[in-house]
Structure 1
Amino acid sequence: MSLFGPVPSVVGGSKLPPEVETAFSAAGVPNEAIAIVVEKLDQPHSGRRLVSHNPALPMNPASVMKLFTTGAALDLLGPAKTWSTEFRTITTPVDGVLDGLLYLKGSGAPNLTMEQFWVLLRQLRLRGVRDIRGNLALDRSLFALPPHNPAAFDGKPLSPYNTGADALLVNFNALTLLLMPDEAHHRVSVLLETPDAKLTINNRLLPVAGDCGNWYEQVTVKVEESTLQLSGPYPKGCGERKINLSPIVGNAHVEGLFRALWSELGGTLSGEVVSGVAPHDSSVIAAQDSAALVEVVRDINKFSNNVMARQLFLALSADTPPATYEKSAASLRAWLTGKGMSAPELVIENGAGLSRNDRASADTLAALLRSIWQSPTMPEMMASLPIAGEDGTMKKRGNGEGRGRAHLKTGYLEGVRALAGYLLDLRGERWLLVVMVNHPSAVRAKKGMDRLVEWVIHREEGDGGIAGN
């Protein structure tokens, strides 16, 4: 039977559907480790719960926590919200020469990509700046954050998903490397797609025969100051492959990219790259606006982008700088309260769900989804969610009749699996669904979760359920 194919039996109320319970049991996941709410959205009987299992139990929702961040941001900031990254100065360039400090002021933009950064530098060149004789000062004063340890969560400091928030986040603080087998010279070429004038590549990769397999796990990456070393076997069967890494942080990352792109544009920087705060009387000499919030939300939810979610979470308190995680959490709680949701069990650390301490109940998530469904920004939120069998993190889940009928945010951590979002059943009725599993066997819970989705999509008249509040 294909995923999301027909299911033979139905049952309503607070009990789990038998085939769903069987699938979880076969995966070694006990009922007490599962929280589920399935609730009708449209009339008649809006609010009726088809399934309500451990609804008040605080659970770690993993990346499903991003629904709180993106839902609040769409409502509080508006879908058209943008961020402007600025070059500022207190001096005027003369004959292409800028003496004195040039400030690069961060706005907390979640998606200042390399391409957008190049456009910003191009704007600076168009406005008459060629040679920067003073220092380039990076202004990160919009955020006030504790030191970030990228290895703290899972011991993988080079993984881009572990990148911390940054008021001046450029290209997600990441580099892309292209690996290419070179048969003529019996080697593996390593090309730096993200230019960096300060970084040296020490390539010790060895080409070997064989299929690609788990090639990435065999490549060892080490960072020593401004040198990135790659070693280990690289199967020829892999062909060209890309690696995304975050080996350099803070000023060094921005400096490397700035110097490389600025040189390509015919500019020079004689001074150093330092930290600084742009004076209030400084003037904007060049600026680059980000994509609109609606596009940011789509990238966050479709592809579960953690660093973008951290940035957006901090935007909830950036109107009273400096933004902090604590102030943003308070802002989100106030927003929930204003929507009639108390959520006493809610714990939200960074807005991305990349946390061992985050907690939310299925009841609270259901209330959030219900509120979003009734809000003016519902279309934008719906369009941001992964579509079963179509795109994002749900692209490989949901075939047959279920394809395209589920808009669901996924959540994955060690010991955690979660889904939350909206379903359209075969009768044309809309449902919200929340399912979370917190258990060492959660890695095997996917079948049980998908069976629940199947069951809702194929439900029949008279399946039962319990009355809503």
Structure 2
Amino acid sequence: MKINKKLSVLLAAVVLSMSSVFTPIAPTPSVEAASTYSAMQNSINSIMADSRMRASVSSVTVRKTNGEIVYQYYANRAVTPASSLKLLTASSALETLGENYRFQTNVLTNGTVSKGTLNGNLYLQGKGDPTLLKKDLDNFAAILKKRGVNTIAGHLVGDDTWFDTVRLSPGISKEDQSYYYGAQVSGLTLSPNTDYDAGSVIVEAKPTYNGRAAKIVLTPATSIVRIVNKSKTVPKGYKNTLKIKRNYGTNVIEITGNAPIGSSGKKEWISVSNPTAYALDVFKRSLAEKGIKLSSASKVVRGATPKDARVLLTKQSMPLKQLVVPFLKLSNNSHAEHLAKAMGREVYNDGSWDSGLQVMRDYATSIGLDITKWNFEDASGMSHANKVTSSELSMLLLQVRKEPWYGTLLKGLPVAGVNDRFVGGTLRYRMGGWPTKGNVIAKTGSLDNVSALAGYTQTADKETMIFTVLTQDYKTSTVPVIDKIASAITKSKK
């Protein structure tokens, strides 16, 4: 763990933030233009006059890489950042945990094996890994079988105590809790595929025969959820009205609506209630598939691993320098929250949101940011209560360029107009033409009536610019206007 108190950087940031600042002329969305960047500023002013921006609450800052602000519009206005907050989460994690940090999952026992029977408990101990997959549990089971384990006489115990027991961050609505982007966070959890949406299961409904219910497939297979299938297969040509949702506060997943013959049906990533029990259930299945059974007296329970238990098997995640790609490119909420709790555990020996978010505040302060202008109650940006100014977010993007891991952060950011999901990410279908395609590298943010974009682009003069655009409370999406701003910066010349 390292948190560098960069006093010299802090002083330089204060000086830079005081230079070349332009004040908006209310009520029109414009700034006084500096002569060398007047074309860019005039272009952005025209875009800001768009009715969609006038109807929103917005904050815009454009900086040079020396810190000089060349454009601002209410730069110190606090606006909901949505997922652009992940820029601070990722930066704090790279600094605090390090690029080579790996999450870990262990299999332990307090017993011994005799004649094929493990006389003792088997512990599945999670340390917050959001990348644990069914195949990893299959591998654990296969190795145990090779080591002669056929029966477990004790209990199968899931240990999630690396993190606290608070499963949901503030601001997660009831509607969001049913889906992967609002999944519960646990020290022991499981992902359904290599997008690593921890704590979720893929539910697929496919048409069968006319008049019959759709076929339901779970990935991975698990009995932790109960399926209530109210769907109906209908003739080809009918409208696909399938809906898949987990009932609030339960593990009951309801499938309703019509599945037309010949259609692809419906697929949803549904969060589970109690990720620890989910991981344990799938592990039990993996053991059974490899021929390892539990005794009649065995139970599947949650509990802490005793200190005298010995480690049998360990699985490590990919290093953080690789994890930032699915994390930032796909804007994975569960990665953000798992990293926050991991930071809290690392620095304060407390795997909680309170401690994790404090580490993020510590890091922000250490690089000269004004933490009084940041307010956040999660690490993913899901809460509408989160607020930051475009000036502060652009200062973060400025300061991290000095960090040894900056290249890793940059590689994680979405690239405009590039179709590959793990390159273009959330920008793969945006700004696909000249001059923005492959040039705008930035983190998106999106919530109901909130859109943000924060990152880097090169001007026509090959000068790197840092830009942040935050908007909220709009009636019509501001995304097209935000993209025009990014394009105007990219096209600009001195």
Residue number in structure 2 paired with 1:383:
411
* 1:109 matches 2:123: no
- Whether the 8 Å CA contact 2:169–2:353 is kept in 1: the answer is no
Matches within 5 A, 1:75-90: 75-90=95-110
Larger mean Cα displacement after TM superposition, 150-159 or 416-425? 150-159
* 1:206 matches 2:239: no
Q: Please, which of 187, 201, 219 is the counterpart of residue 175 of structure 1?
A: 201
* Change in CA separation of 1:11 and 1:191 when aligned onto 2, cut-off 3 Å: same
* 1:38 matches 2:66: no
Residue number in structure 1 paired with 2:214:
188
Structure-2 separation of matches of 1:247 and 1:406? 36
Report the Cα offset of residue 40 of structure 1.
1.6
TM superposition score normalised by structure 1: 0.87
Structure-1 separation of matches of 2:41 and 2:261? 48
Structure-2 separation of matches of 1:79 and 1:137? 31
* Change in CA separation of 1:323 and 1:22 when aligned onto 2, cut-off 3 Å: same
Residue number in structure 2 paired with 1:137:
157
Larger mean Cα displacement after TM superposition, 153-162 or 28-37? 28-37
Residue number in structure 2 paired with 1:467:
none
Residue number in structure 2 paired with 1:366:
394
Matches within 5 A, 1:221-370: 222=247, 228-239=253-264, 241-270=266-295, 271-319=298-346, 320-370=348-398
Residue number in structure 2 paired with 1:395:
428
* 1:93 matches 2:113: yes
Report the Cα offset of residue 85 of structure 1.
0.5
Structure-1 separation of matches of 2:121 and 2:171? 34
Higher relative contact order (CA 8 A, sep 6+): 1
Structure-1 separation of matches of 2:342 and 2:389? 25
- Whether the 8 Å CA contact 1:142–1:321 is kept in 2: the answer is no
* 1:57 matches 2:81: no
Residue number in structure 2 paired with 1:436:
470
* Change in CA separation of 1:226 and 1:66 when aligned onto 2, cut-off 3 Å: closer
Q: What RMSD over aligned residues (CA atoms) do the two structures have, in Å?
A: 2.8
TM superposition score normalised by structure 2: 0.83
Identity among equivalent positions (%) equals 23
Larger mean Cα displacement after TM superposition, 286-295 or 182-191? 182-191
CA distances 1:136-163 after superposition (whole Å, capped 9, x unpaired): 1211211124353899425233211111
Q: Secondary structure at the match of 2:311?
A: strand
Q: Output the amino acid matched with 1:428.
A: K
Structure-1 separation of matches of 2:238 and 2:321? 37
Report the Cα offset of residue 25 of structure 1.
4.6
Report the Cα offset of residue 130 of structure 1.
2.6
Report the Cα offset of residue 305 of structure 1.
0.7
Structure-2 separation of matches of 1:243 and 1:150? 24
- Whether the 8 Å CA contact 2:277–2:302 is kept in 1: the answer is no
- Whether the 8 Å CA contact 1:202–1:227 is kept in 2: the answer is yes
- Whether the 8 Å CA contact 1:177–1:194 is kept in 2: the answer is no
* Change in CA separation of 1:164 and 1:201 when aligned onto 2, cut-off 3 Å: closer
Where in structure 1 are there 5+ consecutive unaligned residues?
1-9, 462-469
* Change in CA separation of 1:124 and 1:363 when aligned onto 2, cut-off 3 Å: farther
